[in-house]
């Protein structure tokens, strides 16, 4: 029951997801309203960066960098004549007041600190063989520079501005590079876009390869990823060849796009994307514009939510099938599917959609396989048991032609047909119920047929012995289940009497003393039934007590987590809660009372501790004030005495006086 409630809650939660979206706002072309000509129009914008209200645009075609305030150009750092400020500016990074520009074919990284003349070579290429700087990212110690031509990521020392080592080399394997376009640092990870491989690679901060993004997870394949930005746990990628911006979660699940589905987007070879203040800025080199879109944050993903819901439905169907298996004495285990679904939901709630999808798919596959195996096992067992009864009845068919045996045989045949129909319709629970009823109908029919003296003489012994054997086996099975449940709930049951009665019944049946066997079976059934009722009641009380203790422990842990000046000693209460959980198996009511008493005691201690802490704080403040007043008064007395001493000394009078107020 608890599982079905959980499934219902998850399905309800997953039905309330919303997707992200972009709305086209306007475009920027580099010119201002009062420009007299088109000199400042963008020619080939290749990089954008947004920082603190300022938008920086790198234009490789104009060999320059624009500094924009929204759509208004504040400054244009353009290469003119011999004033070679930039040669091939691509992607940029901002840190500590400086803009760092990977200047492509000039093989260097330049900086801009707010003054147009402050565009200088930041680092030396000596030792690194840097050929085309395409992206730059910085942490407190190092600069990480991607080289599109060499297919490497180089590491430079920020303090000395010197080459340190090759951080990531060129190669065909995942994690090795072909034509890296950009690099970003986010949290404890470093990401590199590789337009040559059509992927984004994720690394640890020591540059150990972790995973690749853009290889078809969630149905999204990157073709030629260029510049990208990581903003609030989302990776915004300019996929130039596919003319779109693709948004991924940090673990590589696609959640949104800017492409032809966004009205008026019309992207053409986008080279870079920047995000800030609720907007996405796209360097759209084909249209020679920077296009601006309103951003709505992604809070869910329908396809992943549906996959988790599907896994939940499959698990629920598996648990619907389980009772039928149990009725037919089949062993059933749900595996790790339920835990996998909960883990998938946890990953989903933390926007790790790729992990959530993988976990949900694994759980779905597992539950589907379990359903198939269990349904086949149930169907096979049901048909075996049904066939067993059909074979029992077969030899009596020609003899049972008179009423009421004829009606009983018709009832038996209809039940066999009904079992097959229910199995075909996958109504396994109903089929199992009918299978369990079939032996009694068969017994009734056989009994009617063998009422005649002839059949009674020839069949009574075998039929009766078989009937008693089945009854004894059924009671022994119930006895075994009762012992197993008693072990689970730590109940001490004395079932030796029922065991002795069944042994006596078996012996009596073997001796053909069926009256004695029947009495022993009846007494054993009565004792087992009574113990089943008592055990079920005790188990319910224990489950209720354990559930109450779980709630009490949760509230206890929640209330004890708040810091106070003088924390109370709650170890006795914790020990009492632990003891209560053990006592729950022997005295559920006492266990619940002990747990509540421990929780109430803890609450009182916390309350008193809080009050004492507050009083102690007040006393400390009062003592501090008294100390200050005493110090001030002492200083005042000292000052007055000193003045009188100095006055007597000037008059030549004795300086030793007795102070009087």
Residue pLDDT, tens place only, 385-435: 889 989 888 888 876 567 788 888 888 889 899 989 988 888 888 888 998
Per-residue confidence (pLDDT) for residue 358, from 0 to 100: 86
Residue pLDDT, tens place only, 141-155: 999 999 999 999 999
| pTM score above 0.85 | no
Q: What is the domain partition of the chain in residue ranges? A: 1-17+301-423, 18-299, 541-619
Q: In angstroms, rounded to a whole number, what is the distance separating the alpha carbons of residues 346 and 233?
A: 16
Per-residue confidence (pLDDT) for residue 10, from 0 to 100: 41
End-to-end CA distance of the chain: 87
Task: Tell which residue, 290, 286, 252, 260, has the closest CA to residue 274.
Answer: 290
What pLDDT band is residue 510 in, cutting at 50, 70 and 90?
confident
What pLDDT band is residue 463 in, cutting at 50, 70 and 90?
low
Angle, helices 514-559/496-510, rounded to nearest 10 degrees: 150
Per-residue confidence (pLDDT) for residue 23, from 0 to 100: 93
Whether the predicted pLDDT of 363 surpasses 80: yes
Q: Which residues of 190-222 are buried (b: 16+ CB within 10 A; e: fewer)?
A: bbbbbbebbbbbbbeeebeeebbbbeebbebeb
Whether the predicted pLDDT of 20 surpasses 60: no
Q: What are phi and psi of 240, to 5 degrees?
A: -60, -50
Q: Are 243 and 267 in contact (CB under 8 A)?
A: yes
Per-residue confidence (pLDDT) for residue 61, from 0 to 100: 93
Percent of the chain with pLDDT over 70: 90
Q: What is the mean pLDDT of residues 90-117?
A: 88
**CATH superfamily of domain region 18-299:** TolB, C-terminal domain (2.120.10.30)
Task: Tell which residue, 551, 549, 554, has the closest CA to residue 576.
Answer: 549
What pLDDT band is residue 123 in, cutting at 50, 70 and 90?
low
Per-residue confidence (pLDDT) for residue 264, from 0 to 100: 93
198 vs 646, which has greater pLDDT?
A: 198
Would you list the DSSP string of 26-55?
EEE-S--TT-SSSTT--S-EEEEEEETTEE
Q: Could you count the other beta carbons within 10 Å of the beta carbon of residue 620?
A: 11
Residue pLDDT, tens place only, 232-254: 889 999 999 999 999 998 989 89
Highest-scoring range by mean pLDDT, 12-16, 260-264, 446-450, 520-524 = 260-264
Per-residue confidence (pLDDT) for residue 284, from 0 to 100: 97
């Amino acid at each position: 029951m608890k599982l079905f409630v959980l499934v219902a809650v998850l399905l309800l939660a997953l039905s309330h997801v919303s997707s992200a979206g972009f709305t086209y706002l306007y475009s920027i072309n580099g010119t201002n309203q009062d420009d007299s000509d088109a000199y400042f129009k963008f020619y080939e914008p290749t990089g954008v960066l947004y920082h603190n209200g300022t938008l920086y645009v790198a234009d490789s075609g104009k060999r320059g960098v624009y500094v924009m305030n929204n759509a208004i150009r504040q400054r244009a750092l353009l290469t003119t004549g011999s004033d070679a400020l930039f040669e091939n500016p691509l992607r940029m990074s901002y840190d500590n007041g400086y803009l760092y520009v990977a200047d492509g074919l000039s093989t260097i990284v330049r900086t801009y600190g707010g003054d147009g003349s402050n565009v200088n070579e930041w680092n030396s290429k000596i030792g690194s063989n840097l050929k085309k700087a395409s992206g730059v990212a910085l942490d407190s110690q190092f600069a990480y520079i991607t080289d599109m031509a060499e297919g490497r990521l180089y590491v430079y020392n920020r303090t000395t501005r010197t080459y340190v080592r090759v951080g990531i080399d060129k190669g065909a394997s995942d994690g090795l590079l072909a034509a890296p376009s950009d690099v970003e640092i986010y949290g404890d990870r470093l990401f590199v876009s590789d337009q040559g491989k059509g992927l984004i690679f994720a690394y640890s901060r020591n540059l150990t390869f972790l995973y690749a993004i853009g290889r078809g997870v969630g149905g999204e394949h990157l073709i030629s990823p260029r510049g990208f930005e990581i903003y609030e746990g989302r990776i915004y990628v300019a996929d130039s060849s596919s003319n779109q911006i693709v948004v991924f979660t940090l673990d590589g699940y696609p959640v949104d796009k800017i492409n032809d589905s966004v009205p008026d987007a019309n992207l053409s070879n986008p080279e870079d994307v920047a995000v800030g203040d609720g907007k996405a800025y796209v360097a759209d080199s084909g249209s020679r514009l920077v296009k601006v879109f309103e951003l709505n944050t992604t809070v869910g993903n329908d396809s992943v939510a549906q996959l988790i819901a599907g896994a939940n439905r499959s698990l629920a169907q598996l648990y619907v099938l389980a009772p039928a298996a149990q009725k037919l004495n089949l062993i059933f285990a749900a595996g790790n599917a339920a835990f996998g679904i909960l883990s998938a939901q946890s990953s989903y709630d933390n926007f790790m959609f790729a992990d959530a999808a993988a976990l949900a798919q694994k759980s779905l596959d597992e539950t589907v396989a379990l359903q198939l195996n269990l349904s086949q096992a149930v169907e096979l067992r049901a048909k075996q048991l049904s066939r067993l009864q059909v074979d029992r009845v077969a030899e009596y068919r020609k003899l049972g032609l008179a009423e009421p045996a004829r009606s009983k045989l018709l009832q038996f045949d209809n039940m066999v047909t009904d079992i097959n129909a229910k199995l075909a319709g996958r109504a396994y629970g109903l089929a199992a119920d009918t299978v369990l009823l079939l032996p009694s109908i068969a017994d009734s029919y056989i009994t009617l047929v063998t009422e005649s003296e002839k059949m009674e003489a020839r069949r009574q012994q075998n039929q009766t012995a078989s009937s008693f054997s089945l009854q004894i086996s059924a009671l022994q099975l119930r006895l075994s289940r009762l012992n197993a449940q008693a072990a689970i709930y730590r109940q001490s049951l004395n079932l030796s009497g029922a065991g002795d009665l069944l042994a006596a019944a078996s012996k009596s049946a073997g001796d053909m003393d069926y009256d004695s066997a029947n009495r022993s079976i009846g007494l054993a059934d009565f004792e087992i039934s009574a113990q089943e009722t008592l055990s079920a009641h005790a188990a319910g009380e224990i489950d209720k007590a354990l559930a109450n203790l779980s709630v009490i422990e949760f509230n206890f842990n929640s209330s004890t987590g708040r810091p106070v000046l003088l924390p109370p000693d709650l170890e006795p209460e914790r020990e009492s809660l632990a003891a209560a959980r053990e006592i729950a198996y022997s005295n559920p009511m006492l266990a619940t009372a002990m747990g509540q008493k421990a929780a109430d005691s803890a609450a009182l201690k916390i309350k008193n501790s809080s009050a004492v802490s507050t009083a102690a704080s007040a006393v400390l403040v009062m003592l501090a004030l008294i100390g200050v007043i005493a110090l001030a008064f002492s200083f005042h007395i000292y000052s007055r005495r000193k003045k009188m001493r100095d006055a007597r000394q000037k008059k030549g009078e004795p300086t030793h006086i007795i102070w009087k107020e």
